[in-house]
Amino acid sequence: MTRTGTCSGAAHDVSEFTEAVVGFIGKLVDDTIPRITIKMFSNQKPWVDRTIREALKSCTAAYNAGIISANMDEYKSAAYGVRKAVREAKRRYGKKLETQFQQSGSRFLWQGLRTITDYRSPPSGLMSADESGERAEYILRSLRGYI
C-alpha cells in the first residue's frame, strides 16, 4: 500500500494467497478424512439401514436357492429375519425421534417434525454468474480503502 492509500497489486497477491491456502486446506482434508459413498434413494424410509438391506439380500438368496432345491424352509426363516429386522429398525428409529423430542432445545423438536413429515425447504434462488460478479465487485470497491 502506498502513502496515498491505493493498492498496487495487493488484491492480486491476496487472491493468489487465498487460493493457495484454500487449496492446501482442501488437500489436508482429502488426505485425513476418509470418503464414504452412501446411496440414498428418494423413496427410502428413514428407518431402513444396513441391517435391513443385509436381511433382504439374504432372503433373496435363500429364495433363489429354495427355488432351485425345492426346499423353502431356509427362505421362511430368512423372511422371518427380515420382519424381525424391520421391527427392530423401526423401534430404534422411534427411540431416536423420541430422544430428539425430549431434549431441551426447540431446534431438535423442529428437526424431528421435519423428519417425520419429510419437509424439504423450497430451493433457494441461486445467483447467476453476473450477479455474483457484481456482488464481488461491490465488495471489492467497498474494501479498497481498507486494503
3-class SS string, the chain:
CCCCCCCCCHHHHHHHHHHHHHHHHHHHHHHHCCCCCCCCCCCCCCCCCHHHHHHHHHHHHHHHHHHHHCCCHHHHHHHHHHHHHHHHHHHHHHHHHHHHHHCCCHHHHHHHHHHHHCCCCCCCCCCCHHHHHHHHHHHHHHHCCCC
Which one has a higher pLDDT value, 3 or 11?
A: 11
Retrieve residue 101's grid coordinates. Answer: 423430542
pLDDT over threshold 70, residue 82: yes
Q: Does residue 110 sit in the same domain as residue 75?
A: yes
Torsion of CA 111, 45, 90, 108, to 10 degrees: 0
Q: Does residue 9 sit in the same domain as residue 30?
A: yes
Q: Does residue 116 sit in the same domain as residue 95?
A: yes
Looking at mean pLDDT, say which of 3-12, 100-109, 131-140 comes out highest. Answer: 131-140
pLDDT band at 92 (very low <50, low <70, confident <90, very high): very high
Q: Does residue 93 sit in the same domain as residue 54?
A: yes
Q: Does residue 20 sit in the same domain as residue 87?
A: no
Q: Does residue 49 sit in the same domain as residue 29?
A: no
Q: Does residue 28 sit in the same domain as residue 88?
A: no
pLDDT band at 11 (very low <50, low <70, confident <90, very high): low
Residue 143 lies in a domain: no
pLDDT band at 35 (very low <50, low <70, confident <90, very high): confident
Average pLDDT over residues 20-42: 82
pLDDT band at 8 (very low <50, low <70, confident <90, very high): low
Q: pTM of the prediction?
A: 0.49
pLDDT band at 123 (very low <50, low <70, confident <90, very high): low
Within 8 A by CB and 6+ apart from 52, the residues are 82, 85, 86, 89
pLDDT number for residue 2:
46
pLDDT over threshold 90, residue 85: yes
- Domain holding 95, by residue range, is 45-121
pLDDT number for residue 73:
92
Which one has a higher pLDDT value, 64 or 42?
A: 64
pLDDT number for residue 60:
95
